[in-house]
């Protein structure tokens, strides 16, 4: 029925059968899913999963009681369904919140069924056993909170700081992080361990740059300079195009989207915008190069892979020759560092091979 996502404590088990045995005992938790200021990309992303598929998730793993995008009912019927679900499962249901909550002008920027988003969150959130804030919008404001933030958009934890809340940021978030969290909760009623931003550590404990498939190009100094240049076509590093991978904690570089290899921002040639980081996405300009805090900066010069063969003096042999050779090589590399020019084709990393990919 269910192939569990990796990274989860559950998957520390020895075999798929052991995982299945645990999941077979799952008590389907009731889930109420609310939409506030969002684009529905979080739901769309989850709809693309197949391990488990969304139908399997909502019919066999959880009991989805209310979800405005997926339910057939609308208007009064929907409002009644929400009220009934909250009443029936009070204190026991998981609330999933998608989208940010507008707080400006007493929250007047968003009303559903006569209530502001703030009122709905206070009411429904106050009766939930735990809350999952899915997406960067629900986690801390996301796109709606970008400057000049006309609606005063905030995340769930800003309004209900004392509640049991787990943030799954991303715009959209990786659906397998959500599935991992839900499956663990459904299995034993606990959330995975979180970091200081309430993000599950199993998915956010490393930065993109650590496992980026383009990392070898970063280390070799092979950088895309302009979209569509030869380096871009060759899959070189996007650091100089503003890639926020070195400053962004998320699992995208190893856990791609839609179960299609390379379907993630850097995989399709776009820099990471840092969508899982509160201080980065929609705050730092897209093409601004990030400071490197945790790793060494890329080297500014590289030892040549090949050199042109010169004439060798008969004196440059034996021990004397060896000593001179070491000094000469060091001097050559140092001089390359200072003389390296934009168009110096012999310097690795300075310029893509323009014939590549043509
Ligand atoms: Fe926000 Fe989710 Fe970005 Fe969109 O709804 S996290 S705008 S992908 O979909 O809330
Ligand atoms: Fe990958 Fe970006 Fe790091 Fe380059 S800077 S290696 S593209 S994460
Ligand atoms: Fe977001 Fe960067 Fe991953 S933009 S989806 S954290 S590669």
Nearest-CA residue for atom 2 of ligand 1: 42
Q: How many whole angstroms separate alpha carbon 1 and alpha carbon 52?
A: 7
pLDDT value at 339 more than 60: no
Residue 59 per-residue DSSP state: I
Nearest-CA residue for atom 5 of ligand 2: 239
pLDDT band at 353 (very low <50, low <70, confident <90, very high): very low
**Mean pLDDT along residues 277-293:** 91
Q: Please give the order of strands across the beta sheet that includes 63-67.
A: 63-67, 30-35, 94-98, 130-134, 165-168
C-alpha 304 chain-centroid distance: 36
Tens digits of residue pLDDT in 41-58: 999 998 988 877 888 888
d(CA 2, ligand 3 centre) in Å: 26
Helix or strand run (H / E) with residue 118: helix 117-120
Taking the CA atoms of residue 48, residue 52, residue 58 and residue 61 in that order, the dihedral angle to the nearest 10 degrees is -160
Place of tokens 């499962």: 89
Taking the CA atoms of residue 171, residue 172, residue 175 and residue 179 in that order, the dihedral angle to the nearest 10 degrees is 60
pLDDT value at 315 more than 60: no
Tens digits of residue pLDDT in 75-101: 999 999 999 999 999 999 999 999 999
111-115, 248-252, 303-307: lowest mean pLDDT where?
A: 303-307
Residues 6+ apart with CB under 8 A from 213: 235, 253, 266, 267
Please report the domains of the chain, with CATH numbers, ordered by start residue: 9-204 (3.40.50.700), 206-300+340-358 (4.10.480.10)
Ligand 1: residue of 68, 99, 145 to mutate (most ligand atoms within 8 A of CB) is 99
pLDDT value at 1 more than 60: no
Structure tokens at 10: 């559950």
Closest CA to 256 of 179, 175, 171, 181: 175
- Provide the mean pLDDT of the chain: 83
More confident residue, 307 or 198: 198
Nearest-CA residue for atom 3 of ligand 1: 171
CA-243 nearest atom, ligand 2: 2
**Mean pLDDT along residues 246-270:** 92
pLDDT value at 267 more than 50: yes
Q: How many whole angstroms separate alpha carbon 249 and alpha carbon 251?
A: 7
The pLDDT, as a whole number, for residue 323 is: 35
Q: How many whole angstroms separate alpha carbon 99 and alpha carbon 133?
A: 8
Closest CA to 241 of 210, 262, 204, 266: 266
pLDDT band at 204 (very low <50, low <70, confident <90, very high): very high
pLDDT band at 305 (very low <50, low <70, confident <90, very high): low
The pLDDT, as a whole number, for residue 297 is: 59
Q: How many whole angstroms separate alpha carbon 105 and alpha carbon 96?
A: 25
Q: The whole model's pTM is what?
A: 0.80
Residues having CB closer than 6 A to ligand 3 are 170, 208, 248, 250, 252, 264-266, 272-276
């Amino acid at each position: 029925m269910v192939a569990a996502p990796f990274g989860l404590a559950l998957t520390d088990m020895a075999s798929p059968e052991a995982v299945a045995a645990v999941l077979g005992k799952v008590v389907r938790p009731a889930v109420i899913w609310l939409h506030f200021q969002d684009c529905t990309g979080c739901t769309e992303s989850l709809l693309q999963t197949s391990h488990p598929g969304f139908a399997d998730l909502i019919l066999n793993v959880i009991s989805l009681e209310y979800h405005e995008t997926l339910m057939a009912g609308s208007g009064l019927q929907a409002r009644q369904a929400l009220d009934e679900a909250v009443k029936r499962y009070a204190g026991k249901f998981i609330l999933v919140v998608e989208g940010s909550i507008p707080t400006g002008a007493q929250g007047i920027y968003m009303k559903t069924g006569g209530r502001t988003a703030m009122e709905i969150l206070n009411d429904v959130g106050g009766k939930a056993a735990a809350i999952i804030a899915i997406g960067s919008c629900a986690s801390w404001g996301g796109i709606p909170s970008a400057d000049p933030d006309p609606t005063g958009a905030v995340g769930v934890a800003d309004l209900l700081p004392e509640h049991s809340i787990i943030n799954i940021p991303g715009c959209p978030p990786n659906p397998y992080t959500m599935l991992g969290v839900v499956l663990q909760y459904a299995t034993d009623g606990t959330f995975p361990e979180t970091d200081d931003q309430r993000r599950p550590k199993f998915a956010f404990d490393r930065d993109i740059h650590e496992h980026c498939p383009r990392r070898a190009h970063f280390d070799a100094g092979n950088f895309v300079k302009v979209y569509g240049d030869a380096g871009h076509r060759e899959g070189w590093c996007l650091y100089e195009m503003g890639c926020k991978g070195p400053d962004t904690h998320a699992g995208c570089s190893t856990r791609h989207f839609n179960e299609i290899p390379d379907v993630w921002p850097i995989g399709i040639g776009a820099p990471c915008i840092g969508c899982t980081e509160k201080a980065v996405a929609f705050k730092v300009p897209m093409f601004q190069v990030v400071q490197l805090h945790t790793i060494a900066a890329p080297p500014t010069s590289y030892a040549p892979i090949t050199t042109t063969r010169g004439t060798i003096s008969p004196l440059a042999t034996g021990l004397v020759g060896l000593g001179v050779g070491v000094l000469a090589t060091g001097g050559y590399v140092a001089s390359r560092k200072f003389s390296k020019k934009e168009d110096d084709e012999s310097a690795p990393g300075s310029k893509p091979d323009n014939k590549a990919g043509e």
